[in-house]
Structure 1
Amino acid sequence: MTETKQPVNEPEMKGWLHKWTNYIKGYQKRWFILSNGVLSYYRSQAEMAHTCRGSIRLQGAMIHTEDTCHFVISNAGTNTFHLRAGTEVERQRWVTALELAKTKAVKASDSEYMSNTEDEDDYDESPAPGGDKAELQSVLKTLSAKLEDLQTCSDLIAKQCAALQRSLAEAEAVAADNPQEVLTKMKAVNERATLFRITSSAMVNACGEYAQLAQTQGRKWQRMLSHEHEQRRRLEDMVEQLAKQHSHLEQAAQQQARATPSGLSAGSGQLLAHSIHSEEDDENEFYDAEEDEIQTDYIVQVPIGHRRTPSGVSTNSQASEGRNAGENTQDSESDAENDTTISVITRRNTSTVETLSSLTVSTLNENGSTISRKPRRTRVPDKPNYPLNLWGVMKNCIGKDLSKIPMPVNFSEPLSMLQRLSEDFEYSELLDKAATCSDPSEQLAYVAAFTVSSYATTSIRTAKPFNPLLGETFEFDRTDDKGWKVISEQVSHHPPMVAQHCDGRGWRCWQEFTMSSKFRGKYLQVIPLGEYHLEFDGSGNHYTWRKVTTTVHNIIVGKLWVDQSGEMDITNHVTGDKCHLKFIPYSYFSRETQRKVTGAVMTRDGSVKWVMGGTWDDHIEASRVINTLKTNKGTPVFETEPLSTLWKRRVPPPESERYYNFTELACQLNEMEEGLAPTDSRKRPDQRLMEEGKWDEANDEKLRLEEKQRAARRQRELEAELAIQEGRPVPTYEPNWFRKEKDRYTGNVIHVFVGRYWECKRKQDWAVCPDIF
């Protein structure tokens, strides 16, 4: 064995040990490193620079010695190493080094805890649910491990003391008969004495560690007990107060019922319904009392430049002021410059603030002409707490084809894939800025920032959107405030395919979105196959790119989380410029910034003009390259201007967790409007019911729509068979608003917008729309 012993005050060690792998290979020789309270191993010393085969943290771990050469390290049952040393002395050296490293790690953790809590005389923070119990179990397990270590040390000391006495007696007997064997016996005596000294030192350390841990945890448990006592007293007071309020509500409801025996008015009816609802739900949830349970109309005067939506309107109501104090009321530039005052009528109820959809707002644009703008909502109803009955889902899947299994809306969010794709334009101001750039490289940098911005919401949005029905459409006209309008249609069902077209201020975007998915057991990979097109009116530059792979982790067990990874090439087909972006996958062992994106804008000849970096869930920075230098090894070094932020994510309000983590734009996607096509996603009944919190009815409607879609597909198949039998051409499904064309830049056949949708909307001529809902 090759090993390096460190000083006593630096309990680090490295060397060869044999590790149990499996019943086929048994024990295999591995190179082990003990550093900073972590024991890691490699197949060879050469692997230390790039690959770690496994590691175990010693803090809270238990170290068992089985026989003269074997020992076991177990960390709370989650990770276990069965190891074997060459000799007993070698085994004991490793055990001692491990115990010292473990003691050092525990002391560092305790000192950090004490530094954080030495100024806290009162235990004010509420612990996480179940945290105290888990922590108590962990501490008890640690104390039990310490007691086992003490018992092991005691047994070893007794055993080694007896062995040392036997060795001394043998040496004395041999010295009288055969002086030549004295040296051999004395060597054995020295080894036994060394083992006895090492084990004694380990026992002393274990005793001190046990005493320190018990003392630290004792003080902590005293504070926790005091905190729990105070919390229980507060809870008792709260329950008593709620009981009094409930009694008063019952008396008020009975008096109202006696006063109006023929029927209840709208306001009192809502009050009674709220009382009954509270009687059923107060066992599980507690709500702060609200003063505006009965709907009230407010008429207020607000300046346009300070109005985003009616949720930001200030009134004399104390309750409304409290709720609006924390809301985000940022304004667009066009709003901030206008000081016109208008009347806004809002209706406030117990859950949301709704704007009457019939109202519009008149503002002046840059040319002085009047634009009609209507106020939009800033949130959707809260997500209800519906428990998911997995057994109910599974029993409905028995004996059915996988494609015919209805997935409940519990896994979804109240948006369709058509609407979700429209969120790509949330940061359309990047394209507006790119349209004004005269430098193609700078324009490409803004286009790259726009492609990254479309992934910002996926970091916290793990629910799946509704799968669109064949022929389903979605249009979103934001010309009045954002300067763009988008139309999407589900043009194919097998495979699923969406065609989308968007017109903006001096630019146009269109894409054909389809994907393939791979289920890997623990995670699901979604690989986009369609191509994205962007064209600017001023420069005529035409850009294309493909989206990167999306991976959804912890499909079976654990909390879902999403990662983006892969490489993206954004190509300017006019100038030949290219931007290469790399989305670095998440890695637990990586020291890099998580969700990192790097990139460079290059000309046709490969010279770098811009360098970019950031994260796909927060920001993108870029810097213009002013000079390129070469090192001795030929590696280029770029001299750049100061970094500038091209894109910064707008963080949604904290309460968005209650409504699917939607951004403000996402909340407006499913807002009902007048004059929509009968195939628009906002008219889809199951999705509408889910947004309103009626999930049981939404599941029933979803099942009905899916059966209706299958019946329509069977009808098309029958018509195709009949055409084949009669020798006629087989009719194929044709979209209403898109047609297939060959792209002049890529040569691929894609669906292109035919351009008549907005004219049909103006005339309200929807004769071509199928009946899909």
Structure 2
Amino acid sequence: MSKKEKSPKKKTKKSTKKKELNEKQILRQKLLKIYPYLKRDKSFRALRKFMQSRIHKSGGVQLLNSKEVKQQRVWCWDVVKQVGKDFLEGKDLTRIALPARLFEPRSFLERLAEGFAYAPLYLEQAYKATDPIERMKNVVCFMFAGLHLSLTNSKPFNPILGETYQCYFQNGTQIFCEQTSHHPPVSAFQLIGPNDKYMYHGYGNWSASFKGNSIDVSQKGKYELDFNDGTKYTWDNPNVRINGILIKDRVTNYEGMIKFTDKKNDLGCVIFFDPDALGFFKSLIFSSSTPRHCVKGYIYNLSKEKQKNWEEISLSRITGAWVDNLTFDEKVYWKIDNNLPERPHPSKTYIPSDSRYRKDRKALAKLEWDKAAKMKVEGEEKQRYDRKLRAQQLKDMKKNNN
């Protein structure tokens, strides 16, 4: 009898413990349902599977969750009603306060660092390469392969002026990011390879403008990769276009071109996105022969660049698609299913300005929408005050120097 009497108590304890765990699991399931690409996975398998399932028939990545699209459009229409004239004029969206529900629970600095996820693979291979052309190929792969990691359904929080983020890779690579300007928003970064083999550093000034039913995003700045043997690479970033903001399919694509330079070895590389694009009027009648996510490019001698005939001056021909692969002279160098990146690990010790201290980010991670919105406003107000103090201090310094 005593055993039978004790058994219900044990069951009660177990059921209570199980209920507590379920509450945490339910929150996690809700969070991942909204932000499935935030699942912690060393090789981004969750994001890759999520992205591959939504490649649009015309090219690019589509947001398939109809409920999420519908809800985002409600919020977008609310913003349009508030600042309609500015939207029609293509005003920079970085100057418009957006509702917290359009954001994901992380800062842009965190997403910036995740775009470097192929550094342990391709920068290490580039460092070991003795042939300048082979090194160029691996440098291009490092930048190109990371493009799909930077696209998500929701917008990350804009970093607060002075905000920082630190992380690392298992091979010893260290990453440091900092928000150095509020308007225009400028994010600086430094990636230092193990034993100082290489350093990738620079800054980006993000801008976004509303174009009727699409948003155009660009990032101007400086992107430089230095190897310890004196070789230096520079390049720029392609533009991003998000179609279907208010109506039709929500599809994201990269546009324009990227140009890489290696002046030491007289090498250049160009990659054209959507190379078979027909233009606006032709596209109304005809269909492109290739999806919009396809690319074409060439490695060539910089000294012959003025000839502009890429086929004639080409040292290596490039084909591929930013959602899937990159091929040099029919040899695949990057394949999304085969060449796995490493998710950067947040540093265990970090300074008070780190993104992980943000209150709005923590609230959103718990799906506390109202609290996240309130914390977001508080952070923005603090930033404006801090910006005034910096401006006044600079003014006083100039006055004292004169």
Question: Are 2:76 and 2:246, in contact at CA under 8 Å, matched by a contact in 1?
Answer: no
Deviations 1:148-173 (A, max 9, x none): xxxxxxxxxxxxxxxxxxxxxxxxxx
CA distance in structure 1 between the partners assigned to 2:107 and 2:255 by the alignment:
24
Identical-pair percentage: 26
Question: Are 1:456 and 1:649, in contact at CA under 8 Å, matched by a contact in 2?
Answer: no
1:608 equivalent to 2:314? Answer yes
Distance 1:266 1:728, change over 3 A: farther
For the residue of structure 1 that corresponds to 2:116, the secondary structure is helix
Question: What displacement does 1:483 show?
Answer: 3.7
CA distance in structure 2 between the partners assigned to 1:716 and 1:536 by the alignment:
35
Question: What displacement does 1:439 show?
Answer: 0.7
1:693 equivalent to 2:367? Answer yes
Question: What displacement does 1:489 show?
Answer: 0.5
Question: Are 2:173 and 2:191, in contact at CA under 8 Å, matched by a contact in 1?
Answer: yes
For the residue of structure 2 that corresponds to 1:514, the secondary structure is strand
For the residue of structure 2 that corresponds to 1:469, the secondary structure is coil
Question: What displacement does 1:410 show?
Answer: 1.7
Question: Are 1:445 and 1:610, in contact at CA under 8 Å, matched by a contact in 2?
Answer: no
Question: What displacement does 1:397 show?
Answer: 4.8
Unaligned runs of 5+ in 2: 1-8, 30-39, 47-64, 87-92, 305-312
CA distance in structure 2 between the partners assigned to 1:650 and 1:612 by the alignment:
19
After TM superposition, list the pairs within 5 Å mapping 1:134-145 onto structure 2: none
| Candidates 593, 601, 625, aligned match of 2:291 | 593
CA distance in structure 1 between the partners assigned to 2:269 and 2:177 by the alignment:
27
Distance 1:377 1:612, change over 3 A: closer
Question: What displacement does 1:721 show?
Answer: 6.2
Question: Are 1:430 and 1:647, in contact at CA under 8 Å, matched by a contact in 2?
Answer: no
CA distance in structure 2 between the partners assigned to 1:531 and 1:499 by the alignment:
9
Q: 2:291 is matched by which residue type in structure 1?
A: T
Deviations 1:77-111 (A, max 9, x none): xxxxxxxxxxxxxxxxxxxxxxxxxxxxxxxxxxx
1:525 equivalent to 2:216? Answer yes
2:37 counterpart residue number: none
1:436 counterpart residue number: 128
1:486 equivalent to 2:175? Answer yes
Moved more, 520-529 or 385-394: 385-394
Distance 1:557 1:448, change over 3 A: same
1:645 equivalent to 2:316? Answer no
CA distance in structure 2 between the partners assigned to 1:557 and 1:620 by the alignment:
32
1:546 equivalent to 2:240? Answer no
Distance 1:713 1:266, change over 3 A: farther
Unaligned runs of 5+ in 1: 1-258, 274-291, 296-348, 354-375, 624-642, 653-662, 731-773
2:192 counterpart residue number: 503
After TM superposition, list the pairs within 5 Å mapping 1:456-471 onto structure 2: 456-458=148-150, 461-471=152-162
Question: Are 1:552 and 1:562, in contact at CA under 8 Å, matched by a contact in 2?
Answer: yes
| Candidates 268, 272, 279, aligned match of 1:578 | 268
Question: What displacement does 1:496 show?
Answer: 0.9
Deviations 1:407-444 (A, max 9, x none): 22221222211111112221121111111111101111
1:562 equivalent to 2:234? Answer no
CA distance in structure 1 between the partners assigned to 2:15 and 2:129 by the alignment:
57
1:715 counterpart residue number: 389
Q: 1:526 is matched by which residue type in structure 2?
A: V
For the residue of structure 2 that corresponds to 1:645, the secondary structure is strand
CA distance in structure 2 between the partners assigned to 1:392 and 1:564 by the alignment:
25
1:447 counterpart residue number: 139
Question: What RMSD, in angstroms, separates the aligned Cα atoms of the two structures?
Answer: 3.8
Please say which structure displays the higher CA radius of gyration. 1
Deviations 1:205-257 (A, max 9, x none): xxxxxxxxxxxxxxxxxxxxxxxxxxxxxxxxxxxxxxxxxxxxxxxxxxxxx
Question: What displacement does 1:394 show?
Answer: 5.3
CA distance in structure 2 between the partners assigned to 1:396 and 1:716 by the alignment:
34
CA distance in structure 2 between the partners assigned to 1:445 and 1:619 by the alignment:
13
Distance 1:569 1:377, change over 3 A: closer
1:173 counterpart residue number: none
For the residue of structure 2 that corresponds to 1:420, the secondary structure is helix
After TM superposition, list the pairs within 5 Å mapping 1:254-293 onto structure 2: 268=16, 271=19, 293=22
CA distance in structure 2 between the partners assigned to 1:651 and 1:351 by the alignment:
32
Distance 1:622 1:467, change over 3 A: same
CA distance in structure 2 between the partners assigned to 1:692 and 1:551 by the alignment:
30
Matched residues, number: 334
Deviations 1:561-607 (A, max 9, x none): 21111122100021221111111266762012331111111124434
